[in-house]
Each structure stands twice: as C-alpha cells, then as structure tokens.
Structure 1
Amino acid sequence: MIRSIVFICFLFCFIGNTFGQTENVVRINFLNPSLTIERVLSPKTTFEAGVGFGYNGSYPDLAFASESGIQYIFAGFVDLQSRYYYNLEKRQNKGKKIGSNSGNFFALRMLYTGPDVASNFIRFDNNSFAVGPTWGIQRAYGKFNLAYSMGPIYYFNTSGSHNWFPLILEINFGYNLGR
C-alpha cells in the first residue's frame, strides 16, 4: 500500500509540460487553522504539506459512537498532498490569473490526526490516518486563497481498525504569505 502511494506521488512529478507553471507558496489557513507550504515538483505538480490544529469528524470503524448524531474532534493534524494541476494553460489562455497555483487539480492525499484535545466520542486509538485520491479547485484572489477538494478515502489507525469512506470533503480559506 505505502509503495503504491509513493509510486503515484513520483508519477505525478513527471506528468506535465512547460506551459502553465506552478509556484512555491506559503499559506496560513483559517477555517482549519494551519500553516501550509506548497512546493513545486514540476511545471504542473506540487507537494503540499500542512500542519495545524483543527476540527474533524469520526471515522465509523475507529471510534465508539457518541450519543448525539454529530461527532466532532479538535486535534492536531498533518495533511500531505501531491497535486497535479490539469488546467493551468487553459486558464492562462483565457487571461485568468494562474499565480499561487490557481487551478483545478487531482491529488493523492494523506491526513494524520493525532491525540484529541476535545471530542464527543471515544476513539479506539489516538492516531488515525486517511489516504485517498481527491479532485479539487484552488483559486487565489489577490493574497487570499480558497481551496476545495473531495474524494474517497481509506482510513485506518495503529490498532489495526480500518475501512473506506466514499467521500471526504475539505475546504480551506487562507492567506498567501509569499512565494
């Protein structure tokens, strides 16, 4: 499994051409507070690493159910993504801004959630992981950034519990610090 993920990340590095260049970006996200660094791998691919503290839900097979229908957790997280931007030259040809990696993308995402500070359910293990392909949109509006992605995930913890979930959503609103 891990070898397959690494292979796909390296494959994304070599896809692309010289049109529509990606950029190195450092960003602060507000909705799920984090610091994100997006580094260029090739003209159309980047690797994004984010570290923060935020909210998440419960994965069904990794926790005891709470009494309420809505389950929440506040915990530290690490979010890693290898992104392939597929429409940069199309946006550039239409005269749209492609700076700060403003475009549509496919990604391979890995999310680690650490021990919680507050939650309304009990997890079997303090460490959980989610891995899967995503499709997303990222747009820069001056120094501000809006990103949205979604896709299926395979989730697991270090105790051996695991399953898949058909759709996970991510939305971030941030401020680009620089390149």
Structure 2
Amino acid sequence: MTKSLLSSWSRGILLLFILTIFSYSTYAEEQDSSKHKAVDPVDFVKHTSSIRVSLIAPTLTFQYEKPIGPKTVFDVNAGLLVSFGLNKPTVDIDPYGDLDANARYLVLMPLISVGVKHFYNIENRLRKNKSIENNSANYFGGRLHGPMIGWIRETKNTNAEKSKRIQFSSRTAVGLVAMWGMNRNLGNNFNFNLEVGPSLVYNLDSEIAPSFWLHVGFSKTF
C-alpha cells in the first residue's frame, strides 16, 4: 500500500514537473514571439497623402487619410472626373430616308468626397509578416460624394452637319456609398486600389436612384 502510494506520488510529481517545463517552454516561446509580433495599436494605420487614378471612369484625385482610431481612418478625396458618352439614334422621317444623327459627350466634373474606412484585417496582416505599408489591408466603409455638378461638351453630327455646345450642369446631386475595398502596396509607394459597393444617388430635381460604385486604379503615396 505504501509502495503503491509512493509510486503514485512519484508519478504525480514527475507529471507535474513535465507540465511545468512544457508550460514554461511554451510561455518562453510566446514571449519571444511577441517581441517580434507585438504591435502598438497606433501603428496599425498611418496618415497618408496620395494621388489616385481610376481606370473605370477616368478620375484623378488627391486623397488624404487621417487616423481616427487604431484601425480606422477619415478619408478625403478631391479631384476631377472625366466621362465620355456616345449616342447614335436613327429616326424615320419619310419612307425613303432616315435622319442619321449621333452625339458625343464629354463631361468634366469636380469630385469631392468624405468618408470613413475601417481596416478590419490590418492587424492580422502585420502578425503574419505581411506588408501594411500605406495602409495595405482590406476595409469596410462609407463615403459621401457631392455636389455632383460639372461641364458638358456635346458634339452633334446630323446628316454630316456638325454642331457643338458647352454648358454647365447645375442639377446638383449627392451620392452615398457603402463599400468594401482593399489597398496593396506594390513597392516604391505605388499602390493598387479596389472599391466596390452599392450606392444611392439623390438628385435635387428627382427621386433617389440606386446605383453601384466601382473603383479600380492605382495611387502614388508621398
């Protein structure tokens, strides 16, 4: 009975000793790892100043991001959008002929937007030793665009007769976007940018219209 008790006691001490060594080893590894992976929250996002170019609807904007939280930035964009359009109607005017007409549009619109972006995976990227340079991470956010006003240049060609007209559109509109996006640093402070999401456009002369926001482009941070 005594030998059995001593044997159990010895096994218990040995097991406790092994667990203690294992726990200490694991703790030491975690501490050593944390020396390389510990992150000060203020380092998650940085303020950035960039020039952005969009490839879908040609735009050139200046972007400024200012941290307002460990993973959240206040985002401001200001610049210019260039849009092209082509309309080619054919209208019957008599049984023997048609009115051949086409029109081309060039729109120049100043762009101003403010928004908030939350980089939800920036900490994980840093812990996996992935680059977060220039806030390279995925994010959710919202953005308000407006006022949407601009200059329209219209060139019409009606039966080989050309006419041109330039006018300033005063039909003010604003847009609200809910977006998912991503930034990726390509090196030398060049970045790839992608944003997608539903949006609502409100024209002061009409009702609210649903739309879709898509931005694919590049930026240069300085």
Give me the TM-score of the superposition, normalised by structure 1: 0.73
Residue number among 43, 50, 54 corresponding to 2:70 in the alignment: 43
Runs of 5+ in structure 1 lacking a partner? 1-16, 59-65
Q: Match for residue 6 of structure 1?
A: none
Supply the distance in 2 between the matched residues of 1:75 and 1:68 (Cα, whole angstroms). Answer: 23
Q: Match for residue 33 of structure 1?
A: 60
Q: Is 1:78 aligned to residue 101 of structure 2? A: no
Change (3 A) 1:28 1:130: same
Q: Is 1:172 aligned to residue 208 of structure 2? A: no
Give deviations 1:27-54, integer Å, cap 9, x for gaps: 0113311111110010100011010011
Query: Residue 24 of structure 1 aligns to which amino acid in structure 2?
Result: H
Supply the distance in 2 between the matched residues of 1:161 and 1:125 (Cα, whole angstroms). Answer: 16
Identity of aligned residues (%): 20
Q: Is the partner of 1:89 in helix, strand or coil?
A: helix
Residue number among 126, 130, 147 corresponding to 2:175 in the alignment: 130
Q: Match for residue 153 of structure 1?
A: 199
Supply the distance in 2 between the matched residues of 1:169 and 1:71 (Cα, whole angstroms). Answer: 21
Supply the distance in 2 between the matched residues of 1:49 and 1:68 (Cα, whole angstroms). Answer: 38
CA contact (8 A) 1:129 1:155 kept: yes
Q: For the aligned residues, what is the CA RMSD?
A: 3.0
Change (3 A) 1:128 1:174: same
Query: Residue 118 of structure 2 aligns to which amino acid in structure 1?
Result: Y
CA contact (8 A) 2:150 2:169 kept: no
Higher relative contact order (CA 8 A, sep 6+): 1
Larger Rg: 2
Give me the TM-score of the superposition, normalised by structure 2: 0.60
Q: Per residue, is there more helix in 1 or in 2?
A: 2
